[in-house]
Structure 1
């Protein structure tokens, strides 16, 4: 507030309404989540809560849907910009099969979410340790910040010549291109990895589809990884099709488009829009939430 911003960029679904400037929704992820791609998930992704002036969308489908909602509500605008988070990944020439020397071990990037109902981390720790120790594979492992600490310690203890443990606060985007294949469960990071045009193997995923090799038996894991390394044409075509559906741009310039959209909105598009809804109950909840977090911060300090 002291900075008196012209715009606040929000990767979540709420924002302190009393912040100055326009409120810009850039989204936490693409139009997929841990329960799959059902109509229930879509309704949540497209829920209009009355916080935002500008929605910066990622692909043709979600742009069209948000544009319909903008015409209905008439208190926000929509710009088809792409997702800024992908810029570092897409601005480097790292897409496609990773160049690998004949005697170089294939690298698997393993990422797992924390929710007990979908995480694969406890079930796979022994197998990943076994595969790393076999000398046939190298692993890069990262776990969600909210992962059970005892599980984190088990994976951290596996670190060695063939397994690198990456702490949850490290930036993962520069590390993703170092892997040939991703092993995952139902973490949204697998969609980010797919933009490298590389295959993904999952264990008991809640988001199955032809763009994944999914297994539900630990003993099938190494075979699935070997299949993924062959980059089956049907799998890779499905992966590319999904990426096209999720994100329109491959130029690594989504951040620039977001900034241009903000300039355009402030200069031209804000005129004629209705006022946002009063949202009295939601505003009260925001005040209470911020008050609680400030008190917790004061106690910690």
Structure 2
């Protein structure tokens, strides 16, 4: 009998994270369905199954439910599996891993599927401390397709601009004039993408206007693998998307990164961006070596089989651990608030 899985989806970035996992599930002859939280845009294709209600999920009765955020409904059936929405890069400048939101333990999950040494080592200490979840180093499901061959379509240098949403860290308000000027004066292609949590719609509208006025600028609602492949350099701030781009052995220019290092070309003033981009486009051997070392520390697996490892880990948990680990904390107040928010009391 086929196994069943549910993809618990809260924000638009989840689609690119979950689709490689969906593909691996189907290749095994198993079944998979999506559950979209209220407010999440429906970007599903016609051949992707959606469960519309909590009752639908309960009746579907999955072996496991995957989430890439920090929350999952505790009353849904199945093993609760965290696969993360990015890498732990301490974008707010945390000096301790314990303060990095990537490592927040809230008592919702049975399993964490870590990506590489930067996440596995600390999560293993958390596993020993708490005892009610298991940690498996699998690699991140989103990046399996990153390591397939591709061809660059344009001979012109292409810059992918991406930014975090965090107030005081996002470069979007600071770089509008700079990107506008460079789009008009340099023979470069631009692709612009913004985190779905950015609230400043007026600012986003100005970037959209730039894209409508300049043939060499494209505004992207949801960044795609193609955008990573076709870009030569990323311009960013402190978003975890930096590391995704570096997995393709490409340099990144940042404005006021909260954790700068030799793997980045970090600048403090928007006027320095143009020169840093020019340097990045030379792809110096020394810089690329730093990029590769940094990426390998965060993503240990580059064989394109992270999704298979995740599914194998679920099977291992089901057979060996689901009835042996400690019971998760009661979390009564959190559970009450969640049920109240949903209006679900069964």
**Into which bin does the TM-score normalised by the smaller protein fall?**
0.7 to 0.9
State TM-score, norm by structure 2.
0.76
Contact 1:180 1:198 in 2 (8 A): yes
Distance in 2, Cα, partners of 1:183 & 1:279: 41
Call closer, same or farther: CA 1:119–1:73 in 2, change over 3 Å.
closer
**1:171 deviation in Å?**
4.2
**Which residue is 1:120 aligned to?**
171
Distance in 2, Cα, partners of 1:274 & 1:116: 38
Q: What pairs up with 1:128-277 in 2 under 5 angstroms?
A: 128-147=179-198, 148-159=200-211, 160-167=214-221, 170-277=222-329
Distance in 2, Cα, partners of 1:255 & 1:124: 36
Give the secondary structure class of the aligned counterpart of 1:182: strand
Distance in 2, Cα, partners of 1:277 & 1:41: 19
Give the secondary structure class of the aligned counterpart of 2:126: helix
Q: 1:107 aligns with which of 147, 158, 172?
A: 158
Distance in 1, Cα, partners of 2:316 & 2:278: 49
Deviations 1:69-106 (A, max 9, x none): 3233322212111111112223x125xxx8687xx321
Q: 1:86 aligns with which of 124, 139, 143?
A: 143
Q: What is the CA RMSD across the aligned residues, in angstroms?
A: 2.1
Give the secondary structure class of the aligned counterpart of 2:210: coil
State TM-score, norm by structure 1.
0.87
**1:116 deviation in Å?**
3.2
Give the secondary structure class of the aligned counterpart of 1:155: helix
2:66 is the counterpart of 1:9: yes
Distance in 2, Cα, partners of 1:146 & 1:27: 17
Call closer, same or farther: CA 1:144–1:61 in 2, change over 3 Å.
closer
Q: What pairs up with 1:35-74 in 2 under 5 angstroms?
A: 35-39=92-96, 42=99, 44-74=101-131
Call closer, same or farther: CA 1:156–1:61 in 2, change over 3 Å.
closer
Distance in 1, Cα, partners of 2:300 & 2:140: 9
How many residues in Structure 1 have an aligned counterpart in Structure 2? 284
Contact 1:66 1:78 in 2 (8 A): yes
Distance in 1, Cα, partners of 2:227 & 2:153: 16
**1:225 deviation in Å?**
0.5
Deviations 1:6-28 (A, max 9, x none): 11111122211111111111112
**1:111 deviation in Å?**
1.0
Distance in 2, Cα, partners of 1:166 & 1:41: 34
**1:182 deviation in Å?**
0.4
Contact 1:35 1:41 in 2 (8 A): no
Give the secondary structure class of the aligned counterpart of 1:152: helix
Deviations 1:114-168 (A, max 9, x none): 333012122211221221122421111112223311111111111232111112x
Tell which deviates more after alignment, 50-59 or 127-136: 127-136
Distance in 2, Cα, partners of 1:178 & 1:236: 18
**Which residue is 1:299 aligned to?**
none
Distance in 2, Cα, partners of 1:127 & 1:45: 32
**Which residue is 1:296 aligned to?**
none
Q: Which has the higher contact order (CA 8 A, sep 6+)?
A: 1
Call closer, same or farther: CA 1:71–1:251 in 2, change over 3 Å.
same
**1:40 deviation in Å?**
5.4
Distance in 2, Cα, partners of 1:7 & 1:229: 44
Contact 1:129 1:158 in 2 (8 A): yes
Contact 1:89 1:174 in 2 (8 A): no
**1:61 deviation in Å?**
4.3
